[in-house]
Structure 1
Amino acid sequence: MNEQKPTIMLVDGMALLFRAYFATAVHGQFMRNSNGVPTNGVYGFVKHFLTAVSHFNPSHIAVCWDMGSKTFRTDMYDGYKANRPEAPAELIPQFDLVKEVVDAFDVPNIGLKGYEADDCIGTIATQVKEDSHVKILTGDQDILQLLDERISVVLLQKGYGNYLVHTKDTFYEEKGIHPRQMIDLKAFMGDTSDNYPGVKGIGEKTALKLLQQFGHIEGVLENIDQLTKGQRTKIEQDLDMLHLSRQLAEIKCDVPVECPLDLAVFRYNREKVLDKFAEVEFRGLHQLLDEKQYA
């Protein structure tokens, strides 16, 4: 008997919220409600969320959040994400508001101090993938390292309802390496948005070539005498940073969070959601509510 497995969508909450906020903030459209609270990010978040739900029709959903900028990675390397500006003043009150709206859908909000949303997503995906198909909704390519037979990644593209869906096979076709090798790829080339350097002077092209040839960092180091003099010098000069960058790049899949599938069933109470929309003064979003999902 071929039992149909449920599909859980794990949502990178900050990725949706920030994308929605900046898409409208650039024109100064903060959509303040009658209490003066800006709502543009939350409004766009809900639009992204409901559009993805109707497109992919998951049976289960959980939303994961970053819980402040201090994490085990900033303890390891104080430059980690140090180039990020402070959150804009109009976005700050929307951090709590967006979680209230997610609550109104009876969807779990998950986050853990000291870890990033990616670590919570990786952990839950690992816990539930034996019993379900996992789709991760984000705008962040770092999460592609989690791809496997049961985990796919849905990357938000420009606008609403445009997605690039990656599987482990599409990733291999594009990069010529396996998803887990992406951790070593980032260790070599660094990450400008997360602000760690990797090995100075080694870019994506060289790093991909080395990983295709030798498999992983250890393989490269074991065969370092086969590299060009320039490559060898660069790696030897930045060896500590190479190993540190690898630790920073790897998503932890064993953090102390859990989300049993029965807590993530996606069925919401329409009246409860509409009451929240009315309270926040959202207009027009009720049209996106899908009748199949009502409790």
Structure 2
Amino acid sequence: MNEQKSVMLVDGMALLFRGFFANSHHGYIRKTSAGLPTNAVFGFVKYFWDAIVTFQPTHVICCWDMGSRTFRNELFTEYKANRGAPPEELIPQFDLVKEVVSSFDVPNVGLVGYEADDCIGTLAKLHSRESKVQILTGDHDSLQLLDDNIEVIIMKKGASNYAVYTSDLLLEEKGITPAQMIDVKGLMGDTSDNYPGVKGIGEKTAIKLIQEYGSINGILENLDKLKPSVQKKINEDIDMLHLSRKLAEIRCDVPVSCVLEDCVWSMNPAKVIDQFEVLEFNSLKKLIS
């Protein structure tokens, strides 16, 4: 009997940013002797390696944002406009981390005009037809992608601390299905991504409405049954409600692909150690040797 294939889709940006802030205590930034900042890449490798050891995938792909502007900015100019420029020391590490991922013989996937989430969603749906898929991220938005063959591993605070979500766990925790997550976000908006949803409707009300009426369309068909105050909020923000739902939905049809043969986990330790030596990651060499 063949061992079941298990594809891990890594949200590279989530690990890199987490690595940067976890490894810049008190303003100290790890650098090579030549002065190249490496703290984010160092943290990325530790998180990445821990997940590989913990979950033992047979195939691994790493997905990336490719620039700050995507189709969502065309839909809504204020999308993510609240985010400042990345820290100066992080900028050279965007390319550097992809070199490190390549040294593990893991493909880097990204597409200009789309977010890493859209690449992850597309590849998750593609590979879940024949394999188990696990998405490694820190972002709860990915819970909308849960399916019979798709799990989402949320990285929590601290080393080796994961919440592994299935559709059943989401239903148990929130009382909604993965697809309903999109409608909840449409109603409540997302402060970190800077889209408002319906002003005055928070997560609790959004979940309650979706549980009761099934979807945004279901709510709109039953608007007259809602409390007058909620009716008023929705009526005043109806266009933003539809737009926020569009912004919240991860696209699963973007033109990216990565065949299974190209993402088999088969690391060559010597190749990785060479890369670590260049970056002066001496303490990490023992992890993989």
| Coarse TM-score class (shorter-chain normalised) | over 0.9
SS at match of 1:154: strand
The residue aligned with 2:184 is 185
Q: 1:263-283, CA deviations, whole angstroms, 9 ceiling, x for partnerless residues?
A: 100001111111000011111
SS at match of 2:265: coil
How many pairs were matched up?
A: 289
Q: Percent identity?
A: 59
TM-fit CA distance, 1:197: 0.4
The residue aligned with 1:8 is 7
Structure 2 Cα separation of the partners of residues 3 and 278 of structure 1: 37
The residue aligned with 1:37 is 36
The residue aligned with 1:245 is 244
Off by >6 Å, runs of 4+ in structure 1: none
SS at match of 2:257: coil
The 5 Å alignment of 1:1-295 reads 3-289=2-288
Query: In 1, are the aligned partners of 2:23 and 2:30 still within 8 Å (CA)?
Result: no
Structure 1 Cα separation of the partners of residues 203 and 104 of structure 2: 41
TM-fit CA distance, 1:4: 3.1
Structure 1 Cα separation of the partners of residues 160 and 208 of structure 2: 35
Q: Which amino acid aligns with 1:68?
A: G
Structure 1 Cα separation of the partners of residues 282 and 198 of structure 2: 50
Query: In 2, are the aligned partners of 1:29 and 1:40 still within 8 Å (CA)?
Result: no
CA RMSD of aligned residues (A): 0.9
Query: In 2, are the aligned partners of 1:51 and 1:288 still within 8 Å (CA)?
Result: no
| Structure 1: runs of 5+ lacking an equivalent | 291-295
Structure 2 Cα separation of the partners of residues 233 and 157 of structure 1: 38
TM-fit CA distance, 1:29: 2.5
TM-fit CA distance, 1:26: 3.8
TM-fit CA distance, 1:284: 1.2
Structure 2 Cα separation of the partners of residues 168 and 29 of structure 1: 41
Structure 2 Cα separation of the partners of residues 21 and 38 of structure 1: 10
TM-fit CA distance, 1:56: 0.4
Structure 1 Cα separation of the partners of residues 193 and 160 of structure 2: 27
Structure 1 Cα separation of the partners of residues 86 and 242 of structure 2: 30
TM-score (norm 2): 0.98
Q: 1:146-167, CA deviations, whole angstroms, 9 ceiling, x for partnerless residues?
A: 0011000101111221111111
| Structure 2: runs of 5+ lacking an equivalent | none
Structure 2 Cα separation of the partners of residues 131 and 28 of structure 1: 46
